[in-house]
Structure 1
Amino acid sequence: MSTFVNKRVVIIGGGVAGSVLAKTLQEHAQVFLIDPKEYFEIAWASLRCMVEPSFAEKTLINHTEYASNAHIITSAAINISETEVTTANGKTISYDYLVIATGHDEKTEFTKTEKLGYFKANQEKIKSTNSILIVGGGPTGVELAGEISTDFPGKKVTLVHRGSRLLEFVGEKASKRAQKWLLKKNVEVILGESVTNLSSNTNGGIYKTSGGKSISADCHFLCTGKPLASTWLKETMLGKSLDNKGRLMVDETLLVKGYKNIFAVGDINDVKEMKQGYLAQMHSLVVAKSIKSLVNGKEKLEAYKGGAQMAIVSLGRKDAVAQISGMTMSGWIPAKMKSGDMFVTKTRKTLGLTS
């Protein structure tokens, strides 16, 4: 038997980074994937699922489908020592190498069946209403406005964003193109204001803004950013390895600084780059090479060199706005890259699955 059989790799988090790592390493070590959900969700396709629930069947993938040789622990990790990880369901898993890939906090964890029901319920909510308020003008809010205005053009959609422009993580040119597209679809865009009575207005009605505006809407969707899933780490030995934004500080090999066998990949680390799913996958491939070397008794670690800075925001089915290495484009070309199936086929192939 190969020596790798005795090496144990524990991966915390089954998102875009953790799934690729588990898939890649399962033939080279004993892999333990710890995740509160029994499935991997292609999260950037979730807004399409809101208007087309049948699409969700392709985007929710049981961990056992792509990582059949890994040990799947359906629970949250709650503590880490120098040799073990403890989970909420009482398991203790020892490791030789540990990878933190927890990404962002989803707040609510669904079973796969519940998640499919969630998408169906949201479609029904959209279909049954005449007016919809979207709070947040980042990529989630803009894409949701695009999906609704494309599939349900008769709906009155209002988007409120507290920033001075949409999509503040990309350049101003891309922001203006996205806003121009939404306005053509009759989406009302209100910038520089926030909604002040969301908590007391859960079932629609009159929404008030910080600028004194009143918005009548039958329902609303909150599309603001999600916090990093790192709060629990503060109470572990890695608490001192978090920066002031809650990210794990790593070196050029994506090792958590001060440790020789603990890596951090995806949004949870402090690599200074645009946080995108494809870059998280690149993190995982770099760490996979390093762990393969370590398992085989070699000390050479791979350095992460970064990837092209690229952001594509879908605007319905046939349009998109993109910023690639500082260049902005919009229309059918970036749409062909993403908007058709939201990279679902590509992601499934990365995990060794058919379309």
Structure 2
Amino acid sequence: MLGIRLIRLVNTIHELARLNLQFGCTVEPTVAERPVVKHSEYLKAARVVQSAARSVIHSNSSSTQPEVITDSGERVPFDFLVITTGSTYTGPSTEAERIKFYEDEKESVLVIGGGPVGIEFVGEIVTDFPDKKVTLVHSGERVLEFLGNKASEKTHKWLKSEKVELILNDRIEVENLTGPDYVTKNGDAYQGRCTLRVHWKARRIWLKETDLAHLLDENDRLKVDTNMRLEGVPNVFAVGDITNTKEIKQGYLALNQAAVVVENIKKLFKAPKAPKLAGYKPLASPLGVVSLGRCEAVAQLPLVTLVGRFPGMI
């Protein structure tokens, strides 16, 4: 970017596309080989560092070069840093392993987490494989807790109508388990040959070991100002679920935040001393659309909450 060392830990658009491809491969095994794409094929002008970020060194001193240290030990200096950390994928890592995994796991699915991603994943499974046994375990009192009670109730009824076994107010810690049998905190056992863990906290743990740890709030989200910059850190931005913006966490809002960040980095490049930066306004009304399979969805709109094919067209 015109000589600016701009690091994107996870590019929002590419991360959303990657997650969608992984989910699609799991529920549509016949297309498992098609989505294997090299990063270099779609990031033509970027240098891709294929490693997890483990530390961020930031200093206001002009003598210290800010940098990210990766899991492999590489030190990557930056002028601007954009943190858009997505969910952690814990499945097979190599191309051959992924293809075999997506084609073999056809018997039962255990989904851990009843947020929007977990619900969308369940919807795709029951649509494409109506005979597959699906169990959803969620630690909260209702699914889709970021939406209102009506949206949760309608989604609950839809899941029951699709014969999904729904377990609420319970959790499964799967970090050290290999399956296919999993025991919940309440002592109940569930089986899943294919297990998808969908929760958001673990992906922010690495930040606690960095110079940015003091900017994490009580929910382990980064504190940002109206310009999407970390509070008191003028050259580090954050976008998406990692931020503490007071709104629901959905992809289309992350894209709106990303547009603000791109505009502000351009302004800082042109006038680094006193630019008039763009501001981001969080969504005031609780709006949200979560797909339920290929054709249906649940939609919470300003005046009404709907479920079925009509919101699926939104």
User: What range describes the TM-score normalised by the shorter chain of this pair?
Assistant: 0.7 to 0.9
Instruction: Please give the residue correspondences for 1:225-240 in structure 2 after superposition, counting only pairs within 5 Å.
Output: 225-240=199-214
Kept in 2: contact 1:134–1:221 (CA 8 A): yes
2:158 corresponding residue in structure 1: 181
Kept in 2: contact 1:197–1:208 (CA 8 A): no
Q: Aligned in 2, Cα 1:282/1:112: closer, same or farther, shift over 3 Å? A: farther
Q: Does 1:259 align with 2:233?
A: yes
Q: 1:95 aligns with which of 59, 63, 78?
A: 78
Q: How high is the sequence identity, in percent, across the aligned residues?
A: 38
2:146 corresponding residue in structure 1: 169
1:327 corresponding residue in structure 2: 304
State the 1:125 CA deviation: 2.2
1:273 corresponding residue in structure 2: 247
Q: Which moved more, 1:226-235 or 1:94-103?
A: 226-235
Kept in 2: contact 1:320–1:331 (CA 8 A): yes
TM-score normalized by structure 1? 0.72
Query: How far apart, CA to CA, are the structure 2 residues paired with 1:65 and 1:40?
Result: 17
Q: Provide, for residues 221-275 of structure 1, a one-character-per-residue CA deviation record: whole Å limited to 9, x for no partner.
A: 3444132533222222212222222222111001111112111112222111111
Q: Aligned in 2, Cα 1:248/1:228: closer, same or farther, shift over 3 Å? A: farther
Query: How far apart, CA to CA, are the structure 2 residues paired with 1:278 and 1:193?
Result: 30
Q: Name structure 1 gaps, 5 residues minimum.
A: 20-38, 338-355
Query: Which secondary structure does the structure 2 equivalent of 1:177 belong to?
Result: helix
2:18 corresponding residue in structure 1: 42
Query: Which secondary structure does the structure 1 equivalent of 2:289 belong to?
Result: strand
Q: Aligned in 2, Cα 1:235/1:69: closer, same or farther, shift over 3 Å? A: same
Q: 2:52 aligns with which of 73, 76, 93?
A: 76
State the 1:145 CA deviation: 3.2
TM-score normalized by structure 2? 0.80
1:106 corresponding residue in structure 2: 89
Kept in 2: contact 1:104–1:268 (CA 8 A): no
Q: Name structure 2 gaps, 5 residues minimum.
A: 60-64
State the 1:286 CA deviation: 0.4
Q: How many residues align?
A: 304
CA RMSD of aligned residues (A): 3.3
2:27 corresponding residue in structure 1: 51
Kept in 2: contact 1:228–1:246 (CA 8 A): no
Q: Which amino acid aligns with 1:11?
A: R
The structure with the greater share of residues assigned to strand is 1
Q: Does 1:305 align with 2:281?
A: yes
Query: Which secondary structure does the structure 2 equivalent of 1:167 belong to?
Result: coil
State the 1:289 CA deviation: 0.5
Q: Which amino acid aligns with 1:87?
A: T
Q: Aligned in 2, Cα 1:181/1:284: closer, same or farther, shift over 3 Å? A: same
State the 1:218 CA deviation: 6.2
Q: Provide, for residues 180-225 of structure 1, a one-character-per-residue CA deviation record: whole Å limited to 9, x for no partner.
A: 22222233434444569997782359x6783x7676x564634441
1:23 corresponding residue in structure 2: none
Q: 1:119 aligns with which of 99, 102, 105?
A: 102
1:287 corresponding residue in structure 2: 261
State the 1:53 CA deviation: 3.1
